[in-house]
Amino acid sequence: EVQLLESGGGLVQPGGSLRLSCATSGFTFSTYAINWVRQAPGKGLEWVSGFGGSGGSTYYADSVKGRFTISRDTSKNTLYLQMNSLRAEDTALYYCAKGALVSFWRAAFDIWGQGTMVTVSS
């Protein structure tokens, strides 16, 4: 069974840092794109960042470029999101979501984790 499990969320002050993790199982981690998607309280979905499959390219939304860094550890089948210079508007539930196609970046997101909450507040 394919599973994604996020962790690392919490309360952080503005300007602070946090690292999220997405532990995966049930599929060949290195061959699928995996993404971070966030949802502010009561709001819609916003794609944040993604790590391509076999090619390993990385992608960022303009709203986080230069502040967030996505990475992966294929030995641990885990995706990370290092978040620096956090702002109040980064407060959200952060989901990781798997791309549906082997080796293709342009794919729908077929499996989602339950999310980890990030709150940026003083």
* Binding site residues, other proteins, CB under 8 A: 35, 37, 44-47, 50, 59, 61-62, 95, 97, 100, 105-110, 112-115
Query: Helix, strand, coil shares of the chain as percentages rounded to 5?
Result: 5, 55, 40
Q: How far is the CB of 95 from other proteins (least distance, A)?
A: 6
In the complex with other proteins, which residue's Cβ is closer, 89 or 110? 110
Assigned token pair, 30:
């290195």
How far CA 54 is from CA of 11, 44, 87, 93, 104, in Å, comes to: 34, 30, 32, 27, 8
Nearest approach, Cβ of 35 to other proteins (angstroms)? 7
CB of 36 to other proteins, least distance (A): 11
**In 3-state terms, what secondary structure has residue 48?**
strand
Q: Closest approach of Cβ 44 to other proteins, in Å?
A: 4
Which of residues 42 and 122 has its CB atom nearest to other proteins in the complex? 42
Residue closer to other proteins by CB (options 111, 120) is 111
Q: Which two tokens stand for residue 94?
A: 């952060």
- CB of 79 closer than 8 Å to CB of 70: yes
Cβ nearer to other proteins, comparing 80 with 95: 95
